[in-house]
Structure 1
Amino acid sequence: MDLATIIGLVLAFGGIIGGALEEGLSIKALIQPTAAIIVCGGTFGAAFVSFPLPVVLKAFKDVKMAFLMPTEKHENIIKDMIGYAAKARRNGLISLEQEAQSIKDPFTKKGISLVVDGIDPQKLKEAMEIEIDSYEEHEKGSAEFFEAAGGYAPTIGIIGAVLGLIVVMSNLSDTSKLGAGIAVAFVATIYGLVVANIFCLPIGTKIKHRIKSELLRRQMVVEGLIAIQNGENPHFIEQKLRAFIPAHAPEKK
């Protein structure tokens, strides 16, 4: 579980609700189903129009990326590459063929297979970089979906506010309906801003961070495999791969 996401949501909603209570505002005043329908329906409806259905479905599936930590650790890549390098130096590159059968990550497995097949290092790098570019292009659609929704939400909130004001103006003679119309108008604006700035945009940004982390991992795999293919010392390979990891990143114990 990614504690940063949980803490961020708690702080964001806690700050808004706490501030409202401090000002003497009732929580019931912020609960407006009509405003929620307008903002959520309008926002995601516009987002659906903007993207193909497969991208939309994948985007909602990828929301979990904001709440779960990556399963593949960069430190694990270093450890695996050192092990592969040591085995290749002892028994030759062909000995890695057996290792490839037990590797779960398709990207690493493909790279090991190419190494065993004796592919030229430059050709290996080109083939793996095509895989990396294809992965990035495929995955970034989820982040773009939520970023687009975050751009639509405030405007949809304004539409909700205008609709609420239309209700108010249409019922000036009936004061019993004025309060509800004004409430929808203001709350719809708040909902639009909250959906954009606390959910959609942060989720899109977190997905982009996850993609960057996976791209870094794949780049480490490529560099490690090329170094193994060139017969480099395992200790040197470790130092080379460790340079990919930011100095502030916590190390896996």
Structure 2
Amino acid sequence: MDKLSIIGVILALVSVLLGSTLKGAGIAALVSGAAFVIVICGTLAATLLQTSVPVMKRSMKIVGWIFRPPGVDADSMIEKIVGWSQLARKEGLLGLESVVENETDPFVQKLLQLLVDGSEPEVIQSIMDVEIGTREEIDTAAAKVFEAMGIYAPTMGIVGAVLGLMAVMQNLADPSKLGTGIAAAFVATIYGIGSANLFFLPMAGKLKGIIHGQTTAREMVVEGVVSIAQGENPRNIETKLKGYLA
């Protein structure tokens, strides 16, 4: 569980709700069904219009990473790779067949299978670089869905505010409704700017950071297995891979 994400969400809500209370507006002033429909539904509509179905599905799958990011234990992985290199030096590459069968990560399993099959180091590197790049591209596109929402939300907030002011202008003959109407109009602006800068854009940034970390971890594993294919000394492999931990 990512504690920083939880703290961030709580502080974001507290900053708006408590700030509204301290300013004298009160929490009730932030509740507006019309503003919600215009800003949130409008933002979702614009995002759906620009996003393909596979990308949207992927974005829904990875949104949980904000609170539960995929675990990447680099130290443990380095130990495993060093163990594979030692086994390969003792029994040859075919000695890793049992390791391939017991590996649960499809990416690592595919990588080890290429090694056991006797593929050249350059071939292994080339094949896995394509897979790493493709995975990163797919996940980054999914993260950009939330970035797009962060771009559209403030604009929809302005649309909501303008629509609210148009309603106020229609009631100029009744001064008692002006104050309430203007306040309601600006709630849409708060929804738009607040949701973008407190939630959507930070979510996109968090996901991009997690995706970058996964890519680095995969590159480290590929580097280790390629080094095994090149017959490097296990101690040298360990030293090289620990450079990724920096």
TM-score, length-scaled by structure 1: 0.93
| RMSD of aligned alpha carbons | 1.4
Q: Which residue in 2 is equivalent to 1:74?
A: 74
Q: What residue number does 2:98 align with? A: 98
- The residue that corresponds to 2:48 in the other structure is 48
1:102-138: CA deviation from partner (whole Å, max 9, x where unpaired):
1111111111000011111111101110111111111
- Mapped contact 1:115–1:225 kept (Cα < 8 A): yes
Matches within 5 A, 1:80-229: 80-175=80-175, 177-229=177-229
Contact 1:66 1:206 survives alignment (8 Å): yes
Report the Cα offset of residue 98 of structure 1: 1.0
Give the conservation status (yes or no) of the 8 Å contact 1:34–1:184: no
Indicate conservation of the 8 Å contact 1:160/1:184, yes or no.
no
Q: 1:77·1:220 contact (CA, 8 Å) conserved in 2? A: no
CA shift, 1:81, in A, is 0.4
1:36 to partner: Cα distance: 1.1
Counting matched residue pairs gives 246
- Give secondary structure in 2 for the equivalent of 1:100: helix
> Is 1:21 aligned with 2:29?
no
Q: How far apart, CA to CA, are the structure 1 residues paired with 2:115 and 2:187?
A: 60
User: Residue deviations 1:45-102, cap 9 Å, x none?
Assistant: 1011011122122212221011113223222221210111111111111111110011
Aligned-pair identity (%): 43
The answer on whether the counterparts of 2:29 and 2:184 sit within 8 Å (CA) in structure 1 is: no
Q: Which one-letter code corresponds to 1:120 in the other structure?
A: E
Residue deviations 1:191-240 (CA, integer Å, cap 9, x gap): 00111111111111111011101100110011000111122222221111
Question: Structure 2: which 5+ runs fail to align?
Answer: none
Q: Report the TM-score, using the length of structure 2 for normalisation.
A: 0.95
Residues 179 and 54 (structure 1 numbering): CA distance in 2 closer, same or farther, change over 3 Å? farther
Given the alignment of the two structures, is residue 11 of structure 1 paired with residue 6 of structure 2, yes or no?
A: no
Amino acid corresponding to residue 245 of structure 1 in structure 2: L
Cα distance in 2 between the residues matched to 1:123 and 1:53: 33
CA contact (8 A) 2:143 2:207 kept: yes
Gaps of 5+ in 1: 247-253
